[in-house]
Amino acid sequence: AERKLLPALYHRLMEGQFTEPTRIIGASRASLSHDEYRRFASDALKEHLKSGEFNEAEVEKFTSRLYYVSVDAKSEQGWDDLKKLLEEGKDRTRAFYLAVGPAIFSDISEKIRDHKLITRNTRIVVEKPIGRDLASATELNDTIGKVFREE
C-alpha cells in the first residue's frame, strides 16, 4: 500500500478518475485511527511519489477520502466495524482489493460473504501471485469463485 497502491490511487485522483463521493477504506490488523491512517498515507506519498508529483492541496483532498478499520482475516475482529463503515453508500460500487498473501484470499472472501458485505455492485481484486502452482491457483480460484460469481 505504502509504495505502490496509495501512489497509484493518488494518481487516479489527479487524473480526475474519482467520482463523488469516492471513499477508500484501508484495512489490516494494525490498530489505527482514520487520522493516523491519513498521516501514514501522506507520509507514504511524500516518500514514494516522483519529484514534483506531491501537491499538498491534492494530497489533503486525497487523504480526506481515506478511512481505516482494523480487521483480522482469520477471526471476527473488526468485521462489524467494516460493515458499519460500508453502510453509508451501500448502493455504491465496492471494490475489495486484496493486497495480501494468497493463503488468506479465501478466508477474506468468506468473511466478506459471511458479514453480508457483498452487494450487486461488489467487485474483488486479488494481487498475484495466485497460488504456488497450477493446482493451488485453481483451488484458490474455485474457492473465491464460490463467494464471488465471475460475471
Identify whether the C-beta of residue 79 lies closer than 8 Å to the C-beta of residue 115.
yes
Find the farthest-apart pair of alpha carbons in the chain and give their distance in angstroms, rounded.
Answer: 48
Q: Identify whether 84 is part of a domain.
A: no
- Note the pLDDT tens digit of each residue in 93-136: 899 999 888 888 889 999 999 999 999 889 998 887 777 889 98
Confidence at residue 142, expressed as pLDDT on a 0 to 100 scale: 87
Q: Identify whether 79 is part of a domain.
A: no
- Note the pLDDT tens digit of each residue in 46-98: 999 999 999 999 999 999 999 999 999 999 999 999 999 998 877 888 999 99
CA-to-CA distance for 49 and 88, rounded, in angstroms? Answer: 31
Confidence at residue 70, expressed as pLDDT on a 0 to 100 scale: 97
Domain count, the chain: 2
Q: Identify whether 134 is part of a domain.
A: yes
For residue 116, what are the domain limits? 91-150
Is the pLDDT assigned to residue 150 strictly greater than 80?
Answer: no
Q: Are residues 46 and 104 in the same domain?
A: no
**Long-range contacts made by residues 143-146, C-beta under 8 angstroms, separation at least 24?**
143/105, 143/106, 143/109, 144/105, 144/106, 144/109
Q: Are residues 43 and 106 in the same domain?
A: no
Q: What is the CATH classification number for the domain harbouring 53?
A: 3.40.50.720
Q: Identify whether 27 is part of a domain.
A: yes
Q: What average pLDDT does the chain have?
A: 91
Mean pLDDT lowest for which of 36-40, 48-52, 144-148? Answer: 144-148
Q: Are residues 6 and 63 in the same domain?
A: yes
Which run of H or of E encompasses 83? helix 79-87
pTM for this model (two decimals): 0.87
